[in-house]
Structure 1
Amino acid sequence: MHTKNIINGGKEISQASKALILVHGRGGNARDILSLANNLNTQEFALFAPQATNNTWYPYSFLAPPAQNEPWLSSALEIMGQLLEEVKSKGIAEENIYFGGFSQGACLVAEFVTRNAARFGGVALFTGGLIGDMIYEGNYKGDFGGTPVFIGSGNPDAHVPVERIRETREVMDKMNARVSVKIYDNRPHTISQDEIDSANELVFGK
């Protein structure tokens, strides 16, 4: 099970009007993903990056049956929920709370925000989609209320098939997110400059 371990960056939350929760991928760490904010239009944000136990949020592919990834998946989602409530308790409204993640972290972000849809500030998914061997629509509730969502991914990607990106978009669209998707042919499993530019334009407002 995961232990709550949050690395902070950016502005002090008492001095910030917006917050960004960034989630690292498999084998990554919180400090690495925090450095992504240096390339995003988040200079005025308080930054929060949870750290996965053993640098992995769940043991198997995000396309495995969810039960195979338990209890780690539920524990990761619980950490995310605790962090969101903590940020809200500091006076940051949901519409000023943003989410971003890469790879396994992007999948966790996608799953969390869609299970708890609300009018968030925005969501940037760098190579990630909803979790499971299929789409379990019964898990998803709420209304995104026009939340901007950017999803970027490669075709092919070693871990995230384009079909799951499409399915993720369909679910989020039905829940009133404003989803923009960019698929990059033969792009390595990384974050490209064009994805950063797109996230800045579509999610972070500049």
Structure 2
Amino acid sequence: MATRAPVVRLREAGQPRGLAQRAGILLHGRSRTKQEMLDLATGLEIGGTRWIAPYADQGLWYPGRFMEPLESNEPFLTRSVERCHRLVEDASEGGRLGPNQLFIVGFSQGACIAVEYALRHPGCCAAIVVFSGCLMGPPGTHWSPANGKTLQGLRVFLTGSDMDEWIPEERTRQTAEVLRNLGADVEMHVYPSRPHIVSNLELSEARSFLASSFAAGQPIVPGATP
């Protein structure tokens, strides 16, 4: 297997650098496009946001399935997570935007990267929107944030389905339970008979989630003590 780093291209929309009130990183699914994620962002209707949509080489953030041993998706998995971290750091504009003004939206494979990022870099963003994604690794994996931290202050919008051909409902529910036990505030929705897409209903509910996360004042700073 080749070990070259993914080539990631970017597109942006919304408010420009220097004027945005917050920034959202958009992570596409397997073999999907960054334009699809920008279209999704339009449906989220979060004003004042700088949207940043990277694209992974060949449309893949990692080559295998999410339930394979983590090492089987390396080095691509770590490189993709670290690429996400560099995008979050750049989105902060040198500290003009704090972690409480940064969030990640992912679909499918991109949603799994968002969850993995939250574990490896706790405290770096206020919220993640996980459309049809979950924790990575086989059954029996022990999940915990890096450096002995918790996910206190992180808000998570997590979706799944009882009919999703890629993400079993059981793993969606397990992801919610694990993230809650690690301190995250998780809003989970499991949609009956919904295929592997982002439905209009979950887009609407994600819109409400983000609106409440960034309404009037700022959300809790990730990692802060209440």
Aligned counterpart, 1:123: 128
The percentage of counterpart residues that share the same residue type is 29
User: What secondary structure sits across from 1:181 in the alignment?
Assistant: strand
User: What secondary structure sits across from 2:12 in the alignment?
Assistant: strand
State the one-letter code of the partner of 1:32. E
* Aligned mate of 2:204, from 152, 175, 197: 197
Aligned counterpart, 1:136: 142
User: How far 1:8 sits from its partner (Å)?
Assistant: 1.2
User: What secondary structure sits across from 1:182 in the alignment?
Assistant: strand
Structure 1 or 2, whichever has the larger Rg, is 2
Aligned counterpart, 1:83: 87
User: What secondary structure sits across from 2:18 in the alignment?
Assistant: helix
Change (3 A) 1:156 1:35: same
1:63-120 deviation line (CA, Å, top 9, x unaligned): 1111111111111111011111111234211001011111111111111112222273
User: What secondary structure sits across from 1:137 in the alignment?
Assistant: coil
Q: How does 1:33-72 map to 2 (within 5 A)?
A: 33-72=37-76
Segments of 5+ residues of structure 1 without an aligned counterpart are: none
How large is the Cα RMSD of the aligned pairs? 1.7
User: What secondary structure sits across from 2:204 in the alignment?
Assistant: helix
Distance in 2 of aligned mates of 1:204 and 1:114: 24
Aligned counterpart, 2:33: 29
**Is residue 97 from structure 1 mapped to residue 102 from structure 2 by the alignment?**
yes
**Is residue 179 from structure 1 mapped to residue 186 from structure 2 by the alignment?**
yes
Aligned counterpart, 1:164: 171
* 2:99/2:125 contact within 8 Å kept: yes
* 1:24/1:102 contact within 8 Å kept: yes
State the one-letter code of the partner of 2:45. N
1:176-199 deviation line (CA, Å, top 9, x unaligned): 211011111111110111111111
**Is residue 20 from structure 1 mapped to residue 24 from structure 2 by the alignment?**
yes
Distance in 2 of aligned mates of 1:161 and 1:204: 28
| Range moving further from structure 2, 72-81 or 113-122 | 113-122
Q: What count of residue pairs does the alignment treat as equivalent?
A: 206
* 2:122/2:145 contact within 8 Å kept: no
Distance in 1 of aligned mates of 2:192 and 2:14: 33
> Which consecutive segments of 4 or more residues in structure 1 shift more than 6 A?
none
Aligned counterpart, 2:116: 111
* 2:105/2:128 contact within 8 Å kept: yes
State the one-letter code of the partner of 1:192. S
The TM-score normalised by the length of structure 2 is 0.85
Distance in 2 of aligned mates of 1:203 and 1:20: 11
* Aligned mate of 2:13, from 9, 14, 17: 9
Distance in 2 of aligned mates of 1:184 and 1:138: 27
